[in-house]
């Protein structure tokens, strides 16, 4: 399929499936062993939603990150091992000056961009691509800055444009970032799922044809997989990037079967229509099956109940406190998380080095809550909306059930709750626009530095991008974050973050609820690590064990409407 045709289809909302007639003829012509071989070379992942974009620079939602970042792209540096140490990626090495203001990256020379139906690169990745990727974010005059809306929520929340003074090309394979001041989280931020490298050559081609917006719809990266097909709300098909600079992925095809219903995902997993399923339910049933496995990681995350502090009555701190005291968090843990989480006393989990163990647990006290409402002028209560997110995330596996439990708790102190939900992308867009009163959401850390909780979630700059959905802005809080970033002394940083947590607990722009485990279910024949402690999923080193052709349970494992018609014979 030619690029222009693909572009037209995706902008209209879908890629067409390949001809089913041709597929039927093809499969009937293939022997049983060949059909099994195609199954063995592919993984089907039942995902909970459609990505908002194919460029993770533009969003922070976990659904998009899971579908794009680790599959399609690479970063300059990455995290490795149980200690999460920074390791080379596209940059084979780097150097930081003593004052921390100049960081020089030395790039690999063998990094190939994707060859697709819509783009054929003429060269490997070089310094121009790195400079293009980050100047697009920080330079408002850059020709691609406003493409797709001009919002880069993660980078804006950490004030990346205010930190980076300039990015210099030293030579074809050397890039230097010059910072206005030292920042102890700078390298950590460059290792996140958002700090991907795009192709400048591809951008130039799109500009020549006046199709700039396609850079975020028809992705070109350097990652282990490349986009082949996409049908919104149905599936994404990736092919292996055979010119990958690291060892090639172990599978040839990766299919995201988009299944928002948790029951549907379970059904497909049990019926062998999915190899791996996101956010599974019925953990006990899965564990009983010898042919299935349940994976989990203790994730760096936080599930919370947020208040729009710019809208009445939650512009009143006393009301926020009253509502918080009326919520039985232990009941939420028992019912929504099935006990697979711990009560959150802070936005950062206890495993973080910045956690302050002097923080008092949130008290459940409906009597005090009722008294506070009277002081705040709401003795008769009021009516409010809770927006419950429509997808499962590890930090909140069932927001609708949680909303109903909160609704019952608040009824006890005279507050009437309306529960509202939207389709996922609409939900996020309306939250960013501030149309809500209160909401159930969460945050999944992108790297282990504690600033990744404090800045993206609650900083003043994050209110401007809509990533801080509480729209709470506190200058003292922001100043503490800056002081923490300007020192490398861990003890001092911990003191600054402890003070920041005290401000959050006093102001209560949100109520921390739970730090949870993240679960995933897979066929026992699927091997390799998929889940990470933070960031999105990766299928780079995932593969299937050999399955005998006589095993009828695997013979038709990939549904006919998901198979690739270019199967080898």
Q: 563 with 38: CB under 8 angstroms?
A: yes
Cα 498 to Cα 483: distance, rounded to the nearest angstrom = 12
Q: Is the pLDDT of residue 249 over 50?
A: yes
Q: Residue 97 and residue 104: Cα distance in Å, rounded?
A: 9
Neighbours of 20 (CB within 10 A): 11
Q: What is the CATH number of domain 74-222?
A: 3.90.76.10
Q: Which two tokens stand for residue 324?
A: 């918080």
Average pLDDT, the chain: 87
User: Is the preceding omega at residue 313 within 30 degrees of 0, hence cis?
Assistant: yes
Neighbour-count burial of 285, counting CB atoms closer than 10 A to its CB (0-12 exposed, 13-18 middle, 19+ buried): middle
Of 41, 39, 46, the residue nearest 556 (C-alpha)? 39
Percent of the chain with pLDDT over 70: 89
Residue 14 has pLDDT above 90, yes or no: no
**pLDDT(227) > 70:** yes
Find the DSSP H helices in 93-159.
127-138, 153-157
The CATH number fitting domain 1-51+232-291+542-569, selected from 3.10.20.70, 3.40.190.10, 3.40.50.2300, 3.40.50.300: 3.40.190.10
How do 543-544 and 85-88 pair as beta strands? unpaired
CB burial class (10 A; 0-12, 13-18, 19+) of residue 541? middle
Dist. CA 196–CA 412, nearest whole Å: 48
267-294: pLDDT as tens digits: 999 999 999 999 998 999 999 999 999 9
How many Å from the N-terminal Cα to the C-terminal Cα in the chain?
A: 22
How confident is the model at residue 82, as a pLDDT? 66
The first and second tokens of residue 520, run together, are: 């995933």
Length of the chain: 569
pTM above 0.75, yes or no: no
Q: Which residue has the higher pLDDT, 176 or 425?
A: 176
164-171 and 174-179 strand pairing? antiparallel
**Distance separating alpha carbons of residues 198 and 204, to the nearest angstrom:** 11
Confidence of residue 452 (pLDDT cuts 50, 70, 90): confident
Here the tokens at position 364 are 């459940």
Mean pLDDT, residues 503-519: 93
What whole-number distance in Å separates Cα of residue 541 and Cα of residue 531?
A: 11
Q: Tell me: pLDDT of 31 over 50.
A: no
pLDDT, tens digit (0-9, with 9 covering 90-100), for 325-368: 999 999 999 999 887 888 999 999 887 888 888 877 778 999 99
Query: Which alpha helices (H) appear in 444-508, and where do they start and end?
Result: 451-458, 460-465, 475-485, 490-507
Domain ranges (residues) in the chain? 1-51+232-291+542-569, 74-222, 301-517
Lowest mean pLDDT among 26-40, 453-467, 513-527: 26-40
Rounded to 5 degrees, φ, ψ at 143 are: -60, -20
- Cα–Cα dist 473/478, whole Å: 8
Tokens of 16: 């067409």
More confident residue, 449 or 549: 449
* Cα distance between residue 448 and residue 446, in whole Å: 7
Q: What is the pLDDT of residue 563?
A: 40
In sequence order, what are the beta bridge partners of 86? 79
Buried b (16+ CB within 10 A) or exposed e, 155-174: bbbbbbeebbeebeeeeebb
Structure tokens that stand for 225 in this block:
């997989």
Q: pLDDT tens digit string along 54-109? A: 999 999 888 999 999 999 999 999 988 766 788 999 999 999 999 999 999 999 99
What pLDDT does 280 receive?
92
Q: Residue 444: what pLDDT?
A: 82
Lookup: tokens for 563: 């198979």
Instruction: State the pLDDT confidence band at 172, using cuts at 50, 70 and 90.
Output: very high
Sequence-separated (6 or more) residues with CB below 8 Å from residue 133:
57, 196, 197, 198
- CATH number 1.10.260.40 is the correct assignment for the domain at 301-517: no
| Residue partners of 311: CB distance under 8 A and separation at least 6 | 434, 436, 437
pLDDT value, residue 142: 97
Q: Which residues, 6+ apart, have CB-to-CB distance to 359 below 8 Å?
A: 345, 346, 501, 505
How far apart CA 275 and CA 12 sit, in angstroms, is: 30
């Amino acid at each position: 399929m030619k690029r222009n045709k693909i572009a037209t289809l995706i902008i209209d909302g879908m890629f067409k499936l390949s001809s089913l007639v041709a597929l039927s003829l093809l499969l009937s012509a293939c022997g049983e062993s060949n059909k099994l071989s195609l199954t063995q070379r592919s993984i089907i992942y039942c995902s909970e939603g459609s990505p908002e974009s194919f460029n993770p620079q533009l969003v922070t939602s976990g659904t998009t990150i899971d579908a794009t970042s680790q599959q399609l792209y690479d970063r300059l540096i990455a995290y490795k091992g149980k200690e999460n140490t920074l390791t080379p990626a596209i940059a084979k090495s780097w150097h930081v000056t003593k004052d921390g203001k100049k960081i020089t990256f030395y790039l690999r020379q063998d990094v190939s961009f994707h060859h697709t139906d819509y783009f054929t690169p003429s060269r490997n990745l070089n310094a121009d691509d790195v400079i293009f990727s980050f100047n697009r974010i920080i330079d408002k005059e850059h020709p691609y800055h406003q493409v797709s809306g001009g919002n880069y929520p993660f980078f804006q929340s950490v004030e990346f444009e205010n930190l980076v003074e300039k990015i210099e090309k030293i030579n074809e394979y050397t890039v230097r970032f010059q910072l206005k001041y030292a920042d102890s989280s700078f390298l950590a931020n460059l290792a996140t799922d958002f700090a991907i490298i795009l192709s400048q050559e591809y951008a130039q081609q799109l500009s020549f044809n006046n199709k700039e917006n396609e850079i975020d719809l028809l992705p070109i990266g350097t990652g282990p997989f490349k986009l082949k097909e996409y049908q919104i709300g149905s599936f994404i098909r990736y092919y292996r990037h055979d010119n990958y600079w690291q060892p090639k992925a172990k599978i040839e095809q990766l299919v995201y079967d988009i299944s928002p219903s948790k029951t549907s995902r379970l059904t497909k997993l049990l019926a062998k229509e999915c190899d791996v399923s996101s956010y599974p339910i019925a953990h006990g049933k899965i564990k009983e099956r010898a042919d299935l496995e349940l994976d989990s990681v203790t994730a760096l995350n936080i599930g919370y109940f947020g208040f729009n502090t710019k809208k009445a009555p939650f512009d009143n701190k006393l009301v926020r406190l009253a509502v918080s005291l009326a919520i039985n968090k232990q009941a939420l843990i028992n019912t929504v998380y099935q006990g697979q989480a711990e009560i959150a006393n802070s936005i950062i989990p206890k495993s973080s080095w910045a956690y302050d163990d002097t923080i008092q647990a949130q008290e459940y006290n409906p009597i005090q809550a009722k008294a506070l409402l009277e002081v705040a002028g709401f003795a008769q209560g009021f009516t409010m909306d809770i927006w419950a997110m429509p997808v499962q995330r590890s930090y909140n596996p069932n927001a609708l059930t949680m909303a109903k439990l909160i609704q019952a708790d608040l009824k006890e102190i005279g507050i009437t709750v309306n529960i509202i939900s939207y389709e996922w992308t609409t939900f996020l867009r309306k939250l960013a626009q501030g149309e809500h009163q209160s909401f159930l959401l969460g945050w999944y850390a992108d790297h282990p530095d504690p600033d990744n909780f404090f800045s993206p979630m609650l900083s003043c700059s994050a209110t401007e991008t809509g990533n801080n959905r509480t729209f709470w802005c506190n200058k003292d809080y922001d100043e503490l974050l800056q002081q923490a970033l300007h020192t490398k002394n861990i003890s001092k940083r911990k003191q600054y973050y402890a003070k920041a947590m005290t401000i959050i607990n006093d102001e209560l722009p949100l109520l921390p609820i739970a730090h949870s485990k993240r679960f995933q279910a897979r066929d026992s024949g699927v091997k390799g690590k998929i889940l990470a402690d933070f960031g999105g999923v990766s299928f780079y080193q995932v593969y299937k064990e050999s399955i005998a052709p006589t095993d009828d349970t695997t013979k038709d494992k990939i549904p006919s409407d998901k198979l690739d018609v270019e199967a080898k014979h």
